[in-house]
Amino acid sequence: MSARRLFLAGLVLALALAPLVLPPQFVTALTYIGLNGLVCIGLVLLTGVAGMTSFGQAAFCGVAAYATALLTVGQGWSPLASLPVSVAATALVALALGALTVRLAGHYLVLGTLAWGMAVFFLFGNLPGLGGFNGITGLPAIAIGGVAFTDPRLVHVLVWAAVALAMAMASNLLDSRVGRAMRSLPAEIMAESLGVPTARLRVAVFCIAAILAAVAGWLQAHYVRVVNPSPFGVNASVDYLFMVVIGGTGQLGGALLGSAVFEAIRTALRDVLPHLFGRSGSYEMAAFGILVVLLLNTTGGGMMPYLSRILPKPAPVRAPGSAGPLPRRERAQPGQALLEVRGAVKRFGGLVAVNEVSFEIRTGEILGLIGPNGAGKSTLFDLLTGVQPATAGEIRLEGRRIDGASPRAIAGAGVARTFQHVLLRPEMSVLENAALGAHGRGEAGILRSALRLDRAEEARILFEAQRQLDRVGLGEFAAQAAGHLALGQQRILEIARALASDPKLLLLDEPAAGLRHHEKARLSALLRELRDEGVTILLVEHDMDFVMNLVDRLVVVDFGTKIAEGTPASVRGDPRVIEAYLGGAEA
Amino acid sequence: MNATIALILLQDGLTSGLIYGLLALSILLVFLVTRVLWVPAGDFLVLGALTLAVLRQGEVPGTVWILAGLAAVTAIVETWRAWRAGDWRGWPRLIALVVVPSAAAVLATLWLAPQNAPVPVAILLVLALVTPIGFLTYRLVFRPMVDQPTLTLMFVAVAVHYVLTGLGLTAFGSESFRSPPFLPGRLDVGFTRLSYQLLIVLAVSAALMAALGLFFGRTLWGKALRATAMQRFGARLVGIRTESMGALAFTIAALIGAVSGVLIGPMTALYYDSGFLVSLKGFVGTVMAGMASFPLSVLGALLVGLVETGASFYASPFKEAIVFGLLVPFLLWRSAVQIRTRGKGHE
Amino acid sequence: MTSLLQARGIEVRYGESEAVRGLSLAVGPGQIVTVLGPNGAGKTSLLKALMGALPCRGEIRFDGEPIHRLSLEERAEIGLSLVPEERALFGEMSVADNLELGGFLRRHEDARTRREAREEIYRLFPRLRERAGQLASTLSGGERQMLALGRALLARPRLLMLDEPSLGLAPRIVREILDAIAGLRDRGMSLLLVEQNARAALRIADYGYVIERGAVAMEGSAADLRDNPAVAATYLGGSAAG
């Protein structure tokens, strides 16, 4: 048993035994830490993992709490029977709200959830049948198999069992195909180009966070046996956000740490401040505000990073020694036209960035697309990868039109790309970054991953990722954080990630930019090897040295127009190319 | 509903809509120049309103101590920062900016408040006390965080809102305040009677908006603020200091908040924590204008005011829910635009 | 000769990679110095570092005074100016407002002097006068470049740094702009010109540096560099650098 598992087991045991030892007010505090922690786990997934945030978590708790109150008090349901209905109702609301706002830039989500939180709070207080601001009383206690959870100590155990389950499922989820995709969400362009449906996944994360809040709301409703609007206002939502900011949004543990620290400080302030100021008022608001400002001013990462330093570390993700194959794409014969560009045009207002450019890429070759700065190379690259739609012209992959298709669809069709400014998830391991490339070759969903039913497929994905890392020579760095690699290695990691998608065509955007001499030589050798193994490569590059000795054919563009095409030797002697590179303003 | 009620509702809606509009302006200004979501906008309104109410009772408002404390802490922290960086250039000027206006406002209030200062003097004191708090908040909290991600800035803004609310509680207690009206009654204009309060709010907010329009459109500093908002690097290249612009934006925002507080004071009873809800309504206005246009934000806020008044007449318990529900069609529209243009990423 | 700008051992890093590696250069008063080199050689990073828009290591002296600790805005105040590759115009403001803000640092001078300075820019680029009321974002590439140049000149800098002034422009306009730049030198301004249009740059420059992979590969008078075949090789690849 690893040190970490031992620590976790000890933690669980201590929490289970706590009610037998601790005085009641501590048990109550611990129960609330658990309830809040449950909500915070969702917020960490939302804020720390997916880069979104919400001021509506307390409102989600409230929806579930009121739902179960109506069903149990009004309809006589048992709490257990009302759990799935209450949670489903909350999830539906979250789905609608998420679909409305999640696509928009961060601020709209913030304001949308704020407005929703406010609106719901006033609805709770004013809708007929909800008991106004006094709420609904007389909720039954939870009963499971004849055991009624009326004793607060039993509720404590139940709450923490739910927390443990949520933590286990959340960490399973993060360590899976979907989890990697979630962690890639803050880099939207990268995620889409790897085939991740970012909008849908965002809504999904939003719903997961709402479901965790709903479970907390349900537990709390049957714990205090009363439901009224006050714990579900925007202030409570802000408290949850403060908890995760204090704990740290980078790790799941931050959710529980933040919840615990928040509760401890709140209790301390309530006891101490009146003595200091000789007046009982809630100074805690101001004190919490100052604390959060100080924490964000100094670290920004919350307190969890400090705690992690002394806790046993989790084992890094490793690929299995062997695993079955992932599905592969069918491939055309070498020499056939793979990608055809016919009369591609891109206009920005009056400016023609790409003007009637036509060329083709044949299976099994390395084609270089070069031109001076501002010639339209990057725009052309954007057209090929679907980042921008062409104004006119056709782009076909194996005869099928891909112009106008989204980056995700083009990735799905078998075109993998790298980025001029390296786009990796620096905090994820090299292996996990490579595994992101194979996202489109797996299908395990959120539930399968959270329940650990995805292991066979996960093994195949990790095995494939490791295979590609070995292929490009990064195998030994698999467990390192990708951010710790040198830039040259990061570029090669991007290539490994692209290869993991089993692409028909590999598009490289200025792969040599910023590399040192020996790094370029290594990259050049790697690309040649890949070509010999049958990979088709298009590279956009301005480093002539690098291109000349590498590619089979070259296409040269200037002022958005193709000015030359052919072998490196023929292009180098072309007077129009020399003119384009050295400038012709002498005349 | 008869025409009389409709006209009165329209007046009330316009009055509160104009005040939300002023807040919307301060929110948008701060957001565009510094990327901070100005959640505490409403707290400045509350500070303004409560300070005026206390002054008009002939007492010294707690705002004096908030300002004095904040100025002292800022002066100490800035001195410490200068010492740590070993860089004393600009320190004397900064300390003067921090200390002099605050000290002047505090001393003037301590001297004039017990003498039951006349209303215009009281209003000037309110502006002099509340405006520097914006500047100090920027220096103390936000300026060192300019490079932080927007999400972090937003958390800090919420935390600052908490601090201001908490300070408001210590300064004013938990009871509500309402200033006496500047001019009671209504003006008979034939077909209806216009409340003087509306006329005052209309005149002051129109004057303030016109002044802001002139400031942004005609003056060098106003243009510099807009330039910073639209092209930060370009602004720095022509020598505009980002931090001066941030300080200016926060100061103007605080001034707008104080003026709105003076205006709203006689209209409704306010508590130390009423600011959040008012901020949110300003936000709804700016969000409806796509968080980009000043005039459209004011229009959005006017709509919020009108809908709120209408809702409070027809479905009083649900007026807040209805106001925030205004966002739904707007968000749908933005979402549709976003999908069509296939927006750029978040990083 | 004492240099107006003297940079020694400049290093610029992006995370793990170095964009500029121990580069030294000098610009004398009233000189046009050009920095040539293939794309990605570190030219833009160099200019941004000199202006204070990127952190760097090494020593930078302006007029003999070390300026390393000065912020971008403070360097602008003492007479450095940069026209960046992306131009960084105020797109939603009129041409006239852009120019007015160009004179931000001269705001303490009286209104007539400032108006006269703007008139001079309009005489230099008459097309800007025609477009004075138009939003900067509606200008063509050449007009943008003129506006960026005009905006920078209104601060009356002592050293003007230009990043790729010919980028994406038709040859006729390149000529027009380079002639304007040469005219500035004749009025005593110093210029540091980053260009990939090597021939055009060497035509107007006094001195040139060819940089490769963030370091100086070659330097000399413009006349020498014009005739040097190795310069052409740097651009077209496959040279001794290999």
Which tens digits make up the pLDDT trace of B234-251?
Answer: 999 999 998 899 999 999
Per the document, the length of chain B is 347
Q: Where are the alpha helices (DSSP H) in A278-320?
A: 284-298, 304-310
Q: Where are the alpha helices (DSSP H) in A105-197?
A: 106-126, 152-174, 177-183, 188-193
Residue B74 has pLDDT above 50, yes or no: yes
Give the 3-state secondary structure of residue A511: coil
pLDDT for A71 equals 95
Cβ contact, residue pair B347, A100, below 8 Å: no
Among the four given CATH numbers 3.40.47.10, 3.40.50.1220, 3.40.50.300, 3.40.30.10, the one describing domain C1-79+159-242: 3.40.50.300
Cβ contact, residue pair B231, C89, below 8 Å: yes
Decide if A538 contacts A361 (C-beta within 8 A).
yes
> CA-CA distance, C76 to B306, in Å (whole number)?
49
Decide if B130 contacts B63 (C-beta within 8 A).
yes
Specify burial of residue B308 (Cβ count, 10 A radius: 0-12, 13-18, 19+).
buried
Residue with tokens 């805690």: A284
Cβ contact, residue pair A543, C164, below 8 Å: no
> CA-CA distance, B271 to B173, in Å (whole number)?
9
| CATH number at A418-502 | 3.40.50.300
The answer to whether residue B323 is domain-embedded is no
- C97 contact residues in B (CB cutoff 8 A): 223
Worst-scoring range by mean pLDDT, A187-196, B174-183, C70-79, C227-236? C227-236
The contacts of residue A104 (CB under 8 Å, 6+ apart) are A112, B331, B334, B335, B338
- B347 contact residues in A (CB cutoff 8 A): 186-189
Alpha-carbon torsion C62, C65, C71, C77, what sign? negative
Nearest CA-CA distance, residue A386 and chain C, Å: 24
> CA-CA distance, A478 to B184, in Å (whole number)?
76
Query: In the beta sheet, which residues pair with residue A571?
Result: none
Residue B23 is part of which domain span?
16-180+192-274
B271 touches chain A (CB under 8 A): no
- A584 contact residues in C (CB cutoff 8 A): 171, 199
In total, how many domains does chain B have?
Answer: 1
The answer to whether residue B95 is domain-embedded is yes
Element (H, E) at C191: strand C190-195
Decide if A488 contacts A522 (C-beta within 8 A).
yes
Specify burial of residue B83 (Cβ count, 10 A radius: 0-12, 13-18, 19+).
exposed
> CA-CA distance, C49 to C23, in Å (whole number)?
11
The contacts of residue B102 (CB under 8 Å, 6+ apart) are B67, B68, B70, B71, B132, B136
Per the document, the length of chain C is 242
Decide if B142 contacts B250 (C-beta within 8 A).
yes
The contacts of residue B285 (CB under 8 Å, 6+ apart) are B20, B21, B23, B24, B297, B298, B299, B300, B301, B302, B303, B304
Pairing state between β C80-83 and C159-163: parallel
| CATH number at A332-414+504-587 | 3.40.50.300
Q: Where are the domains of chain C?
A: 1-79+159-242, 90-156
A582 touches chain C (CB under 8 A): yes
Segments of B18-71 assigned E as strands: none
Q: Where are the domains of chain A?
A: 26-232, 332-414+504-587, 418-502
Residues 105-124 of C with CB under 8 A from B: 105, 107
Give the rounded distance of the alpha carbon of A98 from its chain centre: 16
Cβ contact, residue pair A111, B284, below 8 Å: yes
Cβ contact, residue pair B318, A126, below 8 Å: yes
Element (H, E) at B151: helix B150-172
The answer to whether residue B53 is domain-embedded is yes
- B237 contact residues in C (CB cutoff 8 A): 51, 72, 76, 81-82, 84, 88, 152
- B90 contact residues in C (CB cutoff 8 A): none
Decide if A314 contacts B163 (C-beta within 8 A).
no
Q: b/e string for B200-228 if b means 16 or more Cβ within 10 A? A: bbbebbeebbeebeeebeeeeebbbbbbb
Q: b/e string for A442-472 if b means 16 or more Cβ within 10 A? A: bebebebbbeeebeebbbbbbbbbbbbbebb
Nearest CA-CA distance, residue A98 and chain B, Å: 11
Decide if A415 contacts A503 (C-beta within 8 A).
yes
- One-letter identity of residue B161: H
Task: Please list the pLDDT of chain A residue by residue as tens digits (587 residues).
Answer: 578 888 888 888 888 888 888 888 889 999 999 999 999 999 999 998 998 889 999 999 999 999 999 999 999 999 999 999 999 999 999 999 888 877 776 677 788 888 888 888 989 988 888 888 889 999 999 988 888 888 889 999 999 999 999 999 999 999 999 999 999 998 888 999 999 999 999 999 999 999 999 999 999 999 999 999 999 998 899 999 999 988 888 889 999 999 999 998 888 877 776 666 655 455 777 888 888 888 887 766 788 888 888 888 888 888 898 888 888 888 878 888 999 999 999 988 767 889 999 999 999 999 999 887 777 888 899 999 998 889 999 999 999 999 889 999 999 999 999 998 889 999 899 999 999 999 999 999 999 999 999 999 999 999 999 999 999 999 999 999 998 888 788 999 999 999 999 999 999 998 887 677 788 888 899 999 999 888 999 999 877 778 888 999 999 998 889 999 999 988 888 888 887 776 654 43
Decide if A371 contacts A386 (C-beta within 8 A).
no
> CA-CA distance, A289 to A297, in Å (whole number)?
12
Q: pTM score, two decimals?
A: 0.87
- One-letter identity of residue A134: N
Tell me the C-alpha to C-alpha distance, in Å, between residue A214 and each of A61, A210, A491, B142: 5, 6, 43, 35
Residue, of C60 and B90, whose pLDDT is higher: C60
> CA-CA distance, A43 to A39, in Å (whole number)?
7
Enter the ipTM: 0.92
Backbone angles phi, psi at B241, to 5 degrees: -80, 125
C89 touches chain B (CB under 8 A): yes
- B146 contact residues in A (CB cutoff 8 A): none
